[in-house]
Structure 1
Amino acid sequence: MDIVKVAGRYPSMMRSLHWLVAILVLATWPLGLMIGYTKESVKLDFYLIHESLGFLVLWIMLVRVGVRLTSDVMHPPQPAMERYAARSVHGLLYLFLIIMPVSGFLATNAHGFPLVWFGLVPIWSPVGKTPDIAPIFSAIHAWSAWILLGLFALHIGAVLLHHVIKRDATLYRIL
């Protein structure tokens, strides 16, 4: 199949942002899980990398939302239930890919650890050290991570459904 000629292929900017976010999330998510199992001597380094990548995901997602809202994407015909499921999962992925880094950023700030992005750029803290609300932001961040994992599983399941079972061109739209 000639990928370049697939009907309804996403614009190159949307495809690039999609794969950039995917790579960053696939690096950031497990890194966040590993923090709890790291030695104290390197724990802060893991946090710095995790938070910095997460903050990068936030900004790329904001750009991605803008690109999505201003791009004219042609959708191939599909059953109403599939269209509803696809739009719902995509919308929730976008939402949680914003909620997760925001809640993580606010949690670390509220715990008293301001972000210095990649160890170079200090980021202003909108909440400062506020231990009373830090656990709330941490809980939102943790729950968002698991919800995002579930949405990712649904997304990959749909990719497999279309590519392996239906054998249609859906996957090629984003490649």
Structure 2
Amino acid sequence: MNGAHMTGGDQRYAGRLRILHWVIAVLVLATWPLGLMIGFVKDDVKLDFYLVHESLGFLVLWLMLVRIGARLTSQAPRVEAPVAEKAAAHAVHGLLYVFLIVMPVSGFLATNAHGFPLNWFGLVTVWSPIGKAPDIAFTLSAIHAWSAWILLALFALHFAAVVFHHVIRRDATLYRIL
């Protein structure tokens, strides 16, 4: 592990941030394809797919809020890198955070607007801030769908940067989040 891009004890993110990063990543990597598959499953299991997709998405929302709080109260590892590279990394990370909030919020509101309350994992019905609102349901669904594709593109950029740093540069960037 080459520590050229990091200094002293500032080599890794705080443990809570590392855990939240990976838990959210796994949840998104499960939730995203579930949402995509809903349009292709038979009607007798479609509601089950919706239940799991929506419940996982709502969990992502709350974990992201916790992650934002943890990030605001934690010191980030110091990194020495060209200004443009730092700017690109900050932009992609910032947009990931934005879309990891926009996507579940728009999905939750779209579900409500279509007239279906969120029944979180079949355990608790979550209060709907808007109730049934067919006039905005399509717009919220479109925001949710576009957010999903934008999030996928951001994930691809993020993953490409990980591969670049780990395989090409052979620096310790990946180890900051492990």
**For residue 149 of structure 2, what is the aligned residue in structure 1?**
146
- TM-superposed CA distance for 1:2, in Å, is 9.7
* Percent identity over paired residues: 71
Separation in structure 1 between the aligned mates of residue 25 and residue 98 of structure 2, nearest angstrom: 15
Separation in structure 1 between the aligned mates of residue 9 and residue 168 of structure 2, nearest angstrom: 18
Number of equivalences: 174
- TM-superposed CA distance for 1:75, in Å, is 1.8
**For residue 105 of structure 1, what is the aligned residue in structure 2?**
108
Q: What is the one-letter code of the residue matched to 1:39?
A: K
| TM, length-normalised to structure 2 | 0.95
Separation in structure 2 between the aligned mates of residue 157 and residue 6 of structure 1, nearest angstrom: 27
- TM-superposed CA distance for 1:73, in Å, is 1.6
Separation in structure 2 between the aligned mates of residue 2 and residue 53 of structure 1, nearest angstrom: 37
Question: 2:117 aligned with 1:122, yes or no?
Answer: no
SS across alignment from 1:116: strand
User: What residue ranges of structure 1 are gaps of 5+ in the alignment?
Assistant: none
> Which of 87, 91, 95 is equivalent to 2:94?
91
Q: How does 1:19-98 map to 2 (within 5 A)?
A: 19-98=22-101
Q: What is the one-letter code of the residue matched to 1:136?
A: T
**For residue 172 of structure 2, what is the aligned residue in structure 1?**
169
Root-mean-square deviation (CA, aligned residues, Å) is 1.5
SS across alignment from 2:135: coil
> Which of 128, 134, 155 is equivalent to 2:158?
155
Separation in structure 2 between the aligned mates of residue 18 and residue 105 of structure 1, nearest angstrom: 22
- TM-superposed CA distance for 1:6, in Å, is 7.4
| TM, length-normalised to structure 1 | 0.96
Q: Is the 8 A contact 1:100 1:140 kept in 2?
A: yes
Question: 2:5 aligned with 1:17, yes or no?
Answer: no
Separation in structure 2 between the aligned mates of residue 104 and residue 46 of structure 1, nearest angstrom: 14
SS across alignment from 1:71: coil
SS across alignment from 1:133: helix
Higher RCO (CA < 8 A, seq sep 6+): 2
- TM-superposed CA distance for 1:8, in Å, is 2.2
Separation in structure 2 between the aligned mates of residue 42 and residue 70 of structure 1, nearest angstrom: 42
Separation in structure 2 between the aligned mates of residue 142 and residue 99 of structure 1, nearest angstrom: 11
Residues 145-168 of structure 1 show CA distances to partners (whole Å, capped at 9, x for unaligned) of 000000000000000110000000
